[in-house]
């Protein structure tokens, strides 16, 4: 009996090793361990054994049963994972089909840049101000040291509003720059002051690929007891460096804007060629970028700030132009066209 069990164990284990698939294994399992299986039959015969043999054979047959069950389980797992492996290799799955996009809209490129500009200046302690777009001649010109008949008014071809005007404010215009908000801010908050004013401006000039009657500017103003051109340079260099995420240098040139003195034209080192000269910077290494300068005494006076105690600087640059430069947009009119084939690109 003992031998019979041993032989059975050996025979079964060999067969299990040979089994090639789950089906075969299942058949084997039935053959040996099933209700009418070989081992089951033996176990059933136990009751006929002599009393003294019963415990020994009983123990042995249980051991054999466990061994075989374990063997079947192991083989089963092996065959199953082999099957998955095989499946994994067999199945064709094309990963090159384009991703399915969830439908989202697009934010206008000027808005996006404006937010970045606001964020950078906020980090440097600048408040963001706002002012009216339909503005009085006083705030747009006189208050900024641009009297009537001043040649500088030529630089700012102006839209006028019909039938509006009084002694105090003059006629009503669409602001030609964001600078009027300088005075409004000074009047409201006094010194010291550290603000930027991004906003929509208007010029009465013929429209072409690089000129539009509507455009966006960012004005900056800092007024304090001691602040200098050095600080202006520092803030602008820091701003541009953060904006372009690479070091940018600033160059000052004399320029003329009636509301600043000294007046400056500000160039920055070309971010494309790093100053070596390329098409974008017209081979100068510098990109003409903005007007700036120390706030004119008369402007501080207009804003009600004591020019003996305080001094300040201001700058203004074209957000529209910067947007165009950034995305290499070659026609300014696209920005106000409402053309979705354009907007959807950003």
Q: Please identify, using beta-carbon distances, which residue of 37 and 198 lies nearer to another protein.
A: 198
Q: Please identify, using beta-carbon distances, which residue of 60 and 128 lies nearer to another protein.
A: 128
CA 196 → CA 99, 124, 178, 185, 239, distances in Å? Answer: 41, 11, 10, 10, 12
For the bound state, the minimum distance from the C-beta of residue 251 to another protein, rounded and expressed in Å, comes to 7
Strand partners, 181: none
For the bound state, the minimum distance from the C-beta of residue 341 to another protein, rounded and expressed in Å, comes to 6
55: left (phi over 0), alpha (psi -120 to 50) or beta: alpha
Interhelix angle 319-327/109-123, rounded to 10 degrees, is 110
Which CB contacts under 8 angstroms, 24+ apart, belong to 243-248? 243/116, 243/117, 243/120, 244/271, 246/271
Q: Please identify, using beta-carbon distances, which residue of 42 and 124 lies nearer to another protein.
A: 124
CA 137 → CA 164, 168, 183, 289, distances in Å? Answer: 10, 9, 13, 26
d(CA 151, CA 172): 20
For the bound state, the minimum distance from the C-beta of residue 98 to another protein, rounded and expressed in Å, comes to 19
For the bound state, the minimum distance from the C-beta of residue 265 to another protein, rounded and expressed in Å, comes to 7
For the bound state, the minimum distance from the C-beta of residue 304 to another protein, rounded and expressed in Å, comes to 18
Q: Please identify, using beta-carbon distances, which residue of 57 and 117 lies nearer to another protein.
A: 117
Q: Please identify, using beta-carbon distances, which residue of 155 and 272 lies nearer to another protein.
A: 155
For the bound state, the minimum distance from the C-beta of residue 224 to another protein, rounded and expressed in Å, comes to 7
For the bound state, the minimum distance from the C-beta of residue 272 to another protein, rounded and expressed in Å, comes to 20
CA 151 → CA 145, 178, 206, 247, 341, distances in Å? Answer: 12, 19, 20, 38, 41
Terminal-residue alpha carbon distance, the chain: 85
d(CA 287, CA 310): 31
Q: Please identify, using beta-carbon distances, which residue of 28 and 300 lies nearer to another protein.
A: 300
What the block records as the tokens of 170 is: 């003059």
d(CA 211, CA 94): 49
For the bound state, the minimum distance from the C-beta of residue 106 to another protein, rounded and expressed in Å, comes to 5
Q: Please identify, using beta-carbon distances, which residue of 66 and 207 lies nearer to another protein.
A: 207
Q: Please identify, using beta-carbon distances, which residue of 33 and 124 lies nearer to another protein.
A: 124
């Amino acid at each position: 009996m003992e031998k019979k069990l041993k032989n059975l164990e050996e025979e079964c284990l060999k067969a299990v090793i040979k089994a090639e698939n789950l089906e075969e294994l299942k058949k084997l399992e039935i053959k040996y361990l099933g209700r009418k299986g070989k081992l089951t039959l033996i176990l059933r015969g136990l009751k006929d054994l002599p009393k003294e043999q019963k415990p020994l054979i009983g123990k042995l047959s249980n051991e054999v049963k466990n061994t075989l069950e374990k063997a079947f389980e192991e083989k089963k797992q092996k065959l199953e994972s082999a099957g998955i492996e095989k499946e994994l290799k067999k199945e064709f799955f094309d990963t090159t089909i384009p991703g399915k996009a969830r439908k989202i809209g697009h934010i206008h490129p000027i808005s996006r840049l404006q937010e970045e500009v606001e964020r950078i200046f906020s980090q440097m302690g600048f408040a963001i101000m706002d002012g009216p777009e339909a503005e009085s001649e006083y705030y747009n010109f006189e208050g900024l040291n641009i009297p009537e008949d001043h040649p500088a008014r030529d630089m700012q071809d102006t839209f006028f509003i019909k039938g509006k005007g009084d002694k105090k404010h003059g006629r009503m215009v669409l602001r030609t720059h964001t600078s009027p908000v300088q005075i409004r801010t000074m009047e409201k908050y006094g010194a010291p002051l550290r603000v930027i004013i991004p906003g929509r401006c208007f010029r009465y000039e013929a429209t072409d690929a690089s000129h539009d009657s509507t455009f966006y500017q960012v004005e900056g103003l800092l007024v304090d007891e001691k602040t200098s051109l050095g600080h202006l340079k520092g803030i602008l260099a820091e701003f541009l460096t953060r904006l372009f995420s690479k070091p940018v240098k600033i160059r000052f040139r004399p320029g003329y804007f009636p509301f600043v003195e000294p007046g400056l034209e500000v160039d920055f080192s070309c971010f494309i060629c790093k100053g070596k000269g390329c098409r974008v910077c017209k081979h100068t290494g510098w990109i003409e970028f903005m007007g700036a300068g120390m706030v004119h005494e008369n402007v501080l006076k207009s804003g009600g700030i004591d020019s003996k105690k305080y001094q300040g600087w201001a700058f203004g640059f074209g957000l529209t132009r910067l947007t165009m430069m950034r995305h290499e947009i070659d026609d300014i009119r696209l920005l106000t066209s409402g053309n979705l084939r354009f907007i959807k690109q950003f």
